[in-house]
Amino acid sequence: MALLADALSRVKPSATIAVAQKARDLKAKGRDVISLGAGEPDFDTPDNIKAAAIEAINRGETKYTPVPGIQPLREAIAAKFKRENNLDYKASQTIVGTGGKQILFNAFMATLNPGDEVVIPAPYWVSYPEMVSLCGGTPVFVSASQEHNFKLQPEDLEKAITPKTKWFIFNSPSNPSGAAYSHDELKALTDVLMKHENVWVLTDDMYEHLTYGDFKFVTPVEVEPGLYNRTLTMNGVSKAYAMTGWRIGYAAGPAELITAMTTIQSQQTSGACSIAQWASVEALNGTQDFIPERKKAFEKRRDLVVSMLNQATGLDCPTPEGAFYVYPSCAGLMGKTAPTGKVMETDEDFVTELLESEGVAVVHGSAFGLGPNFRISYATSEEQLEEACNRIQRFCAACR
């Protein structure tokens, strides 16, 4: 009898985590490596949030919590959705998980049966299809090409939906492309979804507060209230509040779905960390003054990286509306020979050779379902980004 479950054969390890680990391993061997693979802000968690966590410890808030989250946090989540997204949810319609990943996993585990399809625009966050497969569903990929600024077109969504479609995953601003949908662009998609009553919407709004210029963020139910009864709106404190290690994600949706997800979580992890939950209450209810300042820093980094990459031979880098990623094409270098003598046929070849030659770690686009591209996270200092881009320019110029 085999030890491992059949489900494992359907799942690949996370490419982003693998790149980060490879960079760490090379650094440990003394290599000068700049890692631009991780989706993690370099800013520290704001002081008021850290203070709230310390106060919670001193108050003795160190016991098990209710499975779907402590009441003050669930109330803060409902208030946030009303205040920022014009969405009316009761606290009982919310759930808190150990990061956004658990929220997504709970939703799929609670709803997917063998044969159910989940429509996923590509490029996509690497974990979406793996979670769907682990939970017994079938990922259905739809290309959101660079020609359309990595945004799914309504006619392509329409073609992808079948009687077996259970979920449509929507992520704006996007990981990995940084693309964000305007009100009108999103309305074109929700018009399609309104015609298909069997399709639920899982919207990942994790990068909501990281949009640039005059861009205004909107979420699906805000654009189309008719989707309220079949949408799970997911968010978290990781990105805007620089709280990746605190591991708190949350969502709101129909009571029946939240109850089912709570049942899954009750047998999986139970409630999320008590201290992290109290810190998150302060994150959502406390001052938001630091967000515009950090957005400005991210926007400056984005503009630096886009400009420098577009000066590199063979690269084409669009300017994204949000998140802290760029997703340049390296199509102009396919078939070229790297300094090591290796002929680069794929984007994975490109990122491997870049790391080997110049010590810059990025993630290949094929891991996100669309290439030949690669993802750079610009959630690091301008000095590091400028040095990394200089190295990338040097590498590209050396390819023949």
pLDDT in tens, 215-271: 999 999 999 999 999 999 999 999 999 999 999 999 999 999 999 999 999 999 999
- All residues at 6 or more sequence positions from 116 whose CB lies less than 8 Å from its CB, including other chains: 136, 137, 138, 164, 165, 166, 167
d(C-alpha 24, C-alpha 57), whole Å? 32
User: CB of 372 within 8 A of CB of 347?
Assistant: yes
**SS3 state of residue 287:** coil
Tokens of 339: 């300094």
- Domains recognised in the chain with CATH numbers: 6-44+290-398 (3.90.1150.10), 64-285 (3.40.640.10)
Is pLDDT at 15 greater than 80 in this prediction? no
Q: What is the pLDDT of residue 16?
A: 72
Q: How many angstroms separate the Cα of 136 from the Cα of each of 22, 164, 362, 378?
A: 30, 13, 31, 35
- All residues at 6 or more sequence positions from 283 whose CB lies less than 8 Å from its CB, including other chains: 46, 49, 237, 241, 243
pLDDT in tens, 356-390: 899 999 999 999 999 999 999 999 999 999 999 99
Assign 397 a pLDDT band (cuts: 50, 70, 90): very high
d(C-alpha 116, C-alpha 285), whole Å? 38
* Helical segments of the chain, H only: 15-28, 47-59, 71-85, 100-111, 127-134, 154-160, 183-194, 220-223, 255-266, 274-285, 290-310, 347-358, 382-398
Cα 102 from chain centroid? Answer: 13
User: CB of 391 within 8 A of CB of 360?
Assistant: yes
Q: In what order do the strands lie in the sheet with 363-364?
A: 325-326, 374-377, 363-364
Task: Please report which helix (H) or strand (E) contains residue 232, including its range.
Answer: strand 231-236
Q: What is the pLDDT of residue 361?
A: 94
Other C-beta atoms closer than 10 Å to the C-beta of 4 total 7
